[in-house]
Structure 1
Amino acid sequence: MGTDRQVTAVAHSGVTKYSLLSAAVIGALALTGCNKPADQTQTTETENSAEVAPTADAKTVTIYSSRNEQLIQPLLDEFTKETGIPVELVTDDSGPLMARLQAESTNTPADMLLTVDAGNLWQAAQQGLLQPLNSEVVNSNVPAKYHSVDDLWTGLSLRARTIFYDPAKVNPSDLSTYADLADPKWKGKLCLRTSKKVYNQSLVASMIEHLGAQKTEEIVKGWVANLAAPVFSNDTKLLEAIASGQCEVGIANSYYYGRILDENPSFPVKLFWANQGEGAEATGTHVNVSGAGIIKSSDNVEGARKLIEWLSSDTAQGKYASSDKEFPVKEGIDESDMLRSWGSFKQDDINVSIFGQRQAEAVQLMDRAGYE
């Protein structure tokens, strides 16, 4: 998610693996009228009697995804096992995938876009790439604040972007809000990820919505003045910088922290839930979504809808919490032991569509503030 990945395609449940050309070449072919290739199948022996074997009329759902393949593939395999519907996964970063969809137009093989951040989902909708979900199941499972008002996409899991600190150097009582990290007391102690990544663009967009552009720009300028090091390319490197003593505090997504703890339970960094309490800046910790929409030119709308509905179900939501270290988007789902160990927190109740609507404004503001 935070790093560039080579475009890959993985076929499962009876679909043969094949290699892809680069997005640019495929886009060019699509513009000249190339058609979706026919499904390729092979006979496999069912090893698990609980699996539902794909039937002759079970059409493959082709997903264009910017999600980490290792994280999402087990969920897709479980869906196929339960439904008998094969899934084909094509992965790349969000920008190239959306450019590819634009180039392929009505000739795209894609049925579904699965990506991170509401800002990316909003952009896909604005570009005319998606069609309405038309799903009462999704509307029932996903709170309205986590899907688009025009029904073009829905969140499927939550990630909290909050404050992390070195407990050997920082007393948590000295921490409070994102805005407080602009205070001179943090000069030479703050680490940030680059503003070029959508996660920080969405955070700043939410601050603009709550605090106004002028106040937000002052805060971002304060962040820049307090930097202990040049901005980092990803959250993992930022967290490692805190652990190594390069800085004392930083802002990152909680699931990156969870994955590090899986590998190193004694990792010397702690989590602090930002913007709790009362007051104008205590709006709750910023949360964002990973989510999905049905491609406007999909020739398997029903299959894509079934998959999105399944990903919003109790089964899939529980797996997001236990395997991916993300918070379930559906209410009432039991969280993993790790997520519970971080304590409960007040979430920002803002509708996540705002992150897309204010994205351009956020990017311009960060540029003016010198946030690279």
Structure 2
Amino acid sequence: MLTLARKTALACGVALVATPALAEEVNLYSYRQPELIQPLADAFTKETGITVNIAFLDKGMVERLKAEGARSPADLVLTVDIARLAAVVDAGVTEAITDPTLAAKVPAAYHDPDGQWWALTTRARIVYASKDRVADGEVTTYEDLADPKWKGRICTRSGMHPYNVALTAAYLYHHGEEATKTWLEALKSNLARKPQGNDRAQVKAIWAGECDISLGNTYYMGEMLEDPEQTEWANSVRIVFPTFEGGGTHVNISGIALTKASPNRENAIKFMDFLVSPEAQGIYAAANHEYPIAEGSEPSELVKGWGSFTPDDVNLAELAKLRPAALKLMEQVDFDG
């Protein structure tokens, strides 16, 4: 005969087992801060009744997913930069999906050919140029950054950072190994200081007169304009959209992938489909000052004000493959040294 305590424990155990199967939810591991994702989650829940649980992981996402294995509660991973997406896929913790909504909304250049990851928004890797010391049209291509006229005038963050590695991989794609190494050596010789800080720190250096141009992502302009302490930095520069000779402006992405262990697979795919809807694209792109990916979606008025550009059309999966070679070249030229 079961004691009351045993009956209670058994009842609780049954409830715990049954709950995941009945719960209308989806679990998201996010590299981006929850406050940037929460408006999307709220809109999805309002439309479908499905709750989105967000776990913010500043680092160690791949390690955590591998450690959890088949018991992972994560349905989806959302991260930024093609290198980070590729790392999740390479770890073997994602599942390829063929979904008609995603295929119709996301251009071919911005999703994995096998469906392992799908882009949600793009950001351009651009030049921030001093309004006072750099004339219009003085820099138009990434190749221009190697021109000796920029000696002592360029600032950038570490060459080993994923954003700069991705740009180097794109240069490698367009020009090959020898030309890319020569370009990196020339770019390094044009630096005003040793690579340091983040993209906003480079704009601050322009404002302070330490350099005249810098490499950075577009969305940092929006972030600086929202910060009273950084607005003056932002107003000291303008955005220039360089292109590769024979190509377009280098872009990177934020993207999402379905996990292999997803316990709420159907709900997860519903959320992915929602994320490329006009409503979600508008919410997400505005919150992050990025460019929406889906056809028919528009960037915010602030982002529109930065000007238009033609994105480079190389599939980002190709750049992910070139990342090891790009890192090797950075090391060979001792870019951060």
TM over 0.5: yes
Aligned to 2:9: none
Aligned to 1:270: 238
**Is residue 105 of structure 2 the alignment partner of residue 105 of structure 1?**
no
Local SS of the residue matching 2:335: coil
Aligned to 1:189: 153
Matches within 5 A, 1:150-169: 150-169=114-133
Tell whether the 8 Å contact from 2:160 to 2:330 is kept in structure 1 after alignment.
Answer: no
Local SS of the residue matching 2:137: helix
Aligned to 1:149: 113
Matches within 5 A, 1:245-324: 245-263=209-227, 267-275=235-243, 281-324=245-288
Aligned to 1:73: 38
Aligned to 1:131: 95
C-alpha distance in 2, partners of 1:66/1:134?
Answer: 24
Aligned to 1:85: 50
TM normalised by structure 1 equals 0.81
Tell whether the 8 Å contact from 1:177 to 1:282 is kept in structure 2 after alignment.
Answer: no
**Is residue 308 of structure 2 the alignment partner of residue 340 of structure 1?**
no
Mark the structure with the bigger radius of gyration: 2
- Unmatched tracts of structure 2, length 5 or more: 1-14
Letter of the 1:85 counterpart: I
Letter of the 1:66 counterpart: Y
C-alpha distance in 1, partners of 2:23/2:49?
Answer: 7
Local SS of the residue matching 2:119: strand
Aligned to 2:170: 206
Shift of 1:282: 4.2
Local SS of the residue matching 1:87: strand
Tell whether the 8 Å contact from 1:61 to 1:303 is kept in structure 2 after alignment.
Answer: yes
Tell whether the 8 Å contact from 1:118 to 1:155 is kept in structure 2 after alignment.
Answer: no
Find 1:62's aligned residue among 10, 20, 27. 27
C-alpha distance in 1, partners of 2:275/2:204?
Answer: 32
Shift of 1:238: 1.6
C-alpha distance in 1, partners of 2:329/2:175?
Answer: 13
Shift of 1:292: 0.5
Find 1:234's aligned residue among 194, 198, 206. 198
Local SS of the residue matching 2:205: helix
The count of corresponding residues between Structure 1 and Structure 2 is: 318
Local SS of the residue matching 1:172: coil
Shift of 1:257: 1.1
C-alpha distance in 1, partners of 2:38/2:202?
Answer: 27
Give the 3 Å change call, closer, same or farther, for CA 86–355 of structure 1 in structure 2.
same
Local SS of the residue matching 2:167: helix
Shift of 1:247: 1.1
Letter of the 1:77 counterpart: D
Per-residue CA deviation, residues 122-155 of structure 1 (Å, 9 max, x unaligned), is 2211221110223111111101110001111100
The share of aligned pairs that are identical, in percent, is 37
Local SS of the residue matching 1:104: helix
Shift of 1:56: 9.2
Give the 3 Å change call, closer, same or farther, for CA 88–186 of structure 1 in structure 2.
same
C-alpha distance in 2, partners of 1:298/1:340?
Answer: 37
Tell whether the 8 Å contact from 1:62 to 1:112 is kept in structure 2 after alignment.
Answer: yes
C-alpha distance in 2, partners of 1:359/1:260?
Answer: 29
C-alpha distance in 2, partners of 1:225/1:369?
Answer: 10
- Unmatched tracts of structure 1, length 5 or more: 1-36, 42-54
Higher relative contact order (CA 8 A, sep 6+): 2
Per-residue CA deviation, residues 47-84 of structure 1 (Å, 9 max, x unaligned), is xxxxxxxx993432111111132222221222122211
Letter of the 1:324 counterpart: N
Local SS of the residue matching 1:299: coil
C-alpha distance in 2, partners of 1:97/1:38?
Answer: 26
Give the 3 Å change call, closer, same or farther, for CA 68–240 of structure 1 in structure 2.
farther
C-alpha distance in 2, partners of 1:212/1:88?
Answer: 44
Shift of 1:204: 0.7
Shift of 1:291: 0.4
Could you say which structure has the higher helix fraction?
2
Tell whether the 8 Å contact from 1:115 to 1:292 is kept in structure 2 after alignment.
Answer: yes
Tell whether the 8 Å contact from 1:119 to 1:359 is kept in structure 2 after alignment.
Answer: yes
Tell whether the 8 Å contact from 2:101 to 2:273 is kept in structure 1 after alignment.
Answer: yes
